[in-house]
Amino acid sequence: MLNRRKLIQRLTAFPFVGGLVSTIPFASAIASPKDPKRELFKEFGVRTFINAAGTLTYMTGSLMHDEVLEAINSTSKEFCLLDEVQDKVGEKIAKMVHSEAAVVTSGAFSAMTLALAGILTGKDEKKVAELPHIAYTGMKSEVICQKSHDIVYNHALTNTGCKIIQVETAEDVDKAVNERTALLHFLHIESDKGKIQHEEWVALGKKHGIPTGIDMAADVPPVSNLWRFNDMGFDFVVISGGKAMRGPQSAGLLMGKKHIIEAARLHMPPRGFNIGRGMKINKEEIFGMYVALEKYINQDHDKEWKEWEDKIAHIQNTVNKISGITTEIHVPPLGNHTPTLRITWDAAKVKVTDKQLREAMRFGTPSIELGGGTANSVNVTVFMLKPGQEKIVATRLKEELNKATA
Ligand SMILES: *Cc1c(COP(=O)(O)O)cnc(C)c1O
């Protein structure tokens, strides 16, 4: 990849260069669009890196499997009806995840918006067109969720025009439910922070006759979470496609009750009289998502876990030899469920802050991104590494930590 020095050399080779944009005509002169090996990252001077941090949106999520890319490529050569693809792919996905119906969405966030929109309007097209202006329409307008579950992503729900009502206990739910309540929403990754657990949440929904939904965007592995919440009785479940499943970053799944999915689809392209017209997902992404899901369900998860443990052990054994370093492996129980190495140092012996270490790794060769920690710790995951990269991460960490110890 183009390191900074080379980039600067390239920039200064041109007298008129004021910024990166000016490198584009130059680069396209050496890389014709017909060149199968065209390297767009280099052409644009975009830094690429080894991802030892995790599936983070700002780091572009995950790397799609080759099979996903093949699905995208092979389906890009013909026309078909967008709805027909969604019908047929959705039917197969629903069987795989034990739901009545499913649809591929442009991510977990849009799946939440579309599901709630569908709940509010049903299949009434007049109501579909009215969202998000729900006042005086007779539509419901409130979503109940536990205080600890009310995170930024709930903006997906308020996009419909609804507001969030926070609760803490089951009694709070009983009091908060009224004729305006549209949904009881649950967030799996914060379930240990709430007083009400999944089963009780579903039971509260049933008791009050109100649908329940769950956001489990980043919460495979374990693979069983794909059907666990459908089996449990949630009316809809959303997950991201471009995190551990390694589908397109722009894709996700909405699974759930048939009437909700059917109504949600009225809010989606190709229809355009709705709030979801901008949440388009193309045929290639739909097929790509399907293939990613299929591959994820059928892969050997025990074998993969063992590979992660071996890679973590390699990095751990390498940095453990440095004096002042302690390491610990933990597995986040609810989301990003993968062996994670926390490297902590004695600030008196190892003179570096976490920020400095992460920058040294970022601007080293090759560039490596680590997970954030505290002032004197960082986190390392290996589930987004390509084969062999754990050796590079270990060596570079050792170099930088040794430097700080000297
Ligand atoms: C990542 C994430 C989302 C958003 O998912 P997208 O697939 O990027 O739309 C929503 N909720 C939670 C908890 C997430 O981690």
| CA 381/CA 309 separation, integer angstroms | 10
What tokens does 180 get?
A: 């305006």
For the chain, the average pLDDT equals 93
| CA 266/CA 119 separation, integer angstroms | 11
* 3-class state of residue 30 by DSSP: helix
Of 292, 293, 345, 264, nearest in space to 96 by CA? 293
What domains lie within the chain, and their CATH numbers? 50-58+301-405 (3.90.1150.110), 79-298 (3.40.640.10)
pLDDT tens digits, one per residue of 341-387: 999 999 999 999 999 999 999 999 999 999 988 889 999 999 999 99
| CA 81/CA 87 separation, integer angstroms | 10
Q: Is the CB of 252 under 6 A from ligand 1?
A: yes
Of 57, 154, 88, 146, nearest in space to 115 by CA? 154
pLDDT tens digits, one per residue of 212-230: 999 999 999 999 999 999 9
Q: How far, in Å, is the centroid of ligand 1 from the Cα of 179? A: 29
Question: Are 20 and 44 within 8 A, CB to CB?
Answer: yes
SS3 content of the chain, % helix, strand, coil (to 5): 45, 15, 40
Q: How far, in Å, is the centroid of ligand 1 from the Cα of 354? A: 26
- 30 pLDDT more than 80: no
- What is the value of pTM for the model shown? 0.91
Protein residue closest via CA to atom 8 of ligand 1 = 107
Hey, which of 56, 104, 153 would you mutate to test ligand 1's pocket, going by the most ligand atoms within 8 Å of its Cβ? 153
Assign 17 a pLDDT band (cuts: 50, 70, 90).
very low
